[in-house]
Amino acid sequence: MKKIIYLFFLLALTICACQKENIDETSTISILEEPTIITTSLGDVAGLVLDEEGKPLADAFVQLGNQQTNTNEFGVFLLEEAELNSQATYLTVQKDGYFQGSRTFVPTENARQNVRIQLLKKTQAGSFQAAQASTIEVEANTNIQFQSNGIIDANGNPYQGEVVVFAQRLDPLASNLSDIMQGNLTGLNADNQRVALSSFGMLAVELESPSGESLQLALDSPATIEFEVPSELQGVAPATIPLWHFDEIQGIWLEEGEATLQGNVYVGEVPHFSNWNWDIPHDKIINFTGKIQNYNRVGLGGLTVSIHLVNKWTGGYTVTDQNGCFSAPLPNGKVFDIQIYYQEDGCDEPFILYEAQIGPFEEDAQLPPVYVDLATIQGVVSTFEVTGTVVDCEGNPSLGYIQLYNQDANQVFSFLSEADGTFNEAVVSCAPIENLTATATNLENFESVSTIDQTFADAIDFGQINICDGTSNNSFYVSFNTSEIYITENDTEYRDAQYEYLACDDTYYFEMSWASPESMISGLVIESSTPITTGEVYNADGYITIPTIENFTIQFSQFDNERAAGTITLLSDGTEGIFSVPFSN
């Protein structure tokens, strides 16, 4: 399955306020006199929650201050009019079987805040008896040493019994570190000063009883962590390094203790367990922003922005938003390599769009606009623009989350519409596209609708995508195998449905048919001994194109005097199609 590419910012990275610029081919860095950061605000926060494989997680619990919600089936959530902290807004995500995830971000003025979080599976590293000193191996050369009689329960009482240890090591060089780590790479040092962090590794740990009761280290019984430095960083690892734990109340890393390098392994004591981080602090943080767009001045969203120190041992990643903008907190006084590329699963190589060396900066800085001609990028097969508007049942503009699929049902791209429901996105793909399907989710009530355009083109206008009770009032499609049919109500195409009861054989009949301008006729028939109602599943015989005969099951989501709508499932391979069709007069 192709990895979904989403237009959400990663971790500590915020949305930049982008405007159209005149094309400027110079590579001079412009210095920003004042960052466009709000002091206090109420605003919307939209986001996406994934598992470690990049698959959406439904029913994850999301909380920001006193606001809370759950993700829908696509892993999407929306918090409206949430209270945003001007210095650092903190959002948490919880789901059974996973470590808590969180994101700390700096909100920007007049923009919807977008975040993306991947939850780590609570992997059991081992267990031990609390009365005995024990060593739990998380990975090779990454161990946790526990003292005897050093565990307490949630009430602070000494605990005797089995201790189950859940732990996951986080590689500081992982390309998705910004998605899977807690908060962001900023912290408060021992002097309570805010600093930027360069991580050499992280460890998530939770202790539980066999029944799931939360456990903790006793105050006088610290644990010792041995953490192997990745081979790529062993040449630059300092002899001692500060330890930082993640404060789940404030949403920031706090300095607490230090570790010493023994061979290639950092060894240090920790007095409690949450998430621990081995980091070098940098005293001053600057904000670096930029924008990527094509020569039609359409922002290119979903591009990966990699910013690393020139020696490659620390840095991070973000993704451009739907306007092609990105923003990243960086330590001052350093020189970085920046690389901007498009990467899709199934492609042999990433498509490099821009690379340069930047810095050092002492103040907030901005990359000049980067203009890209997608048609000249080697390896790109399909480049196109999509436009449209998401509306609700009454035709009013609605904020929507749109996913684009190709003819093989592989997701090509996904993004959020503007607040007024409109979208205009430039998309690149390394695979040929013959047909394009758009699925929209209403972020106000999580109802969804699918529509399809039969023909791929350089510019595709989906028009109004009507989100209403899970179906569209103005579009209709059925997708089986490679045959896809899109029906619109005009003079050259027709569709209808009829429902009748024949007393001669005591049977109820539902018949639906449609035809295209090419005179391709398709349809299906349902026979039932009882009246047909919504929610029931019926067997059906039909044909996609004459004379092909197929067997289906059909489930109605709407069945009244005006319209029939529902889902059709092809029995041969389980492929599903969606329909919404008016009854004939």
Q: Is 70 exposed, middle or buried (0-12, 13-18, 19+ CB in 10 A)?
A: middle
CB atoms within 10 A of CB 56: 18
Structure tokens at 392: 């609700």
Place of tokens 């412009």: 30
Say how many CA atoms lie within 13 Å of 6 toward its Cβ.
23
DSSP letters, 120-177, are PB--EEEEEETTS-EEEEEETTEEEEE-TT-EE-TTS-B--SEEEEEEEEE-TT-TTH
CB atoms within 10 A of CB 580: 26
Q: How far is CA 71 from the centre of its chain?
A: 11
Place of tokens 């595709």: 460
Q: Are 494 and 515 in contact (CB under 8 A)?
A: yes
How far are the Cα atoms of 228, 243, 402 from residue 267, in angstroms, in the given order? Answer: 9, 10, 47
Read off the pTM.
Answer: 0.65
Place of tokens 């922005």: 305
pLDDT at 489: 38
Beta strands 459-466; 382-391: pairing state: parallel
Distance CA 243, CA 132 (A): 26
Q: Which domains can be identified in the chain, with CATH numbers? A: 1-376 (no CATH), 381-472 (2.60.40.10), 475-585 (2.40.128.20)
pLDDT at 18: 39
Alpha helices in 438-485 (DSSP H): none
Distance CA 571, CA 560 (A): 26
Say how many CA atoms lie within 13 Å of 14 toward its Cβ.
27
pLDDT at 37: 40
pLDDT at 408: 75
Place of tokens 């059925």: 478
* Tens-binned pLDDT, residue by residue, of the chain (585 aa): 222 222 222 323 333 433 333 333 333 343 333 433 445 578 888 888 989 888 889 899 999 998 999 988 778 888 888 888 877 889 999 999 999 999 988 776 666 777 889 999 999 999 999 999 999 999 989 999 999 999 999 999 999 999 999 999 999 888 778 889 999 888 999 999 888 888 999 999 999 999 999 999 999 999 999 999 998 888 889 999 999 999 999 899 999 999 999 999 999 999 999 899 999 998 778 888 888 887 666 777 777 888 888 765 566 667 777 677 887 778 888 899 998 887 654 556 677 888 899 989 999 898 887 887 766 666 666 778 888 888 876 677 887 888 787 777 777 777 778 778 888 887 777 677 877 888 787 766 665 665 655 567 778 888 778 776 443 333 333 433 333 333 333 333 455 677 877 666 567 878 776 655 454 556 777 888 889 888 888 888 765 444 455 677 888 888 887 778 777 777 776 766 677 777 764
pLDDT at 238: 93
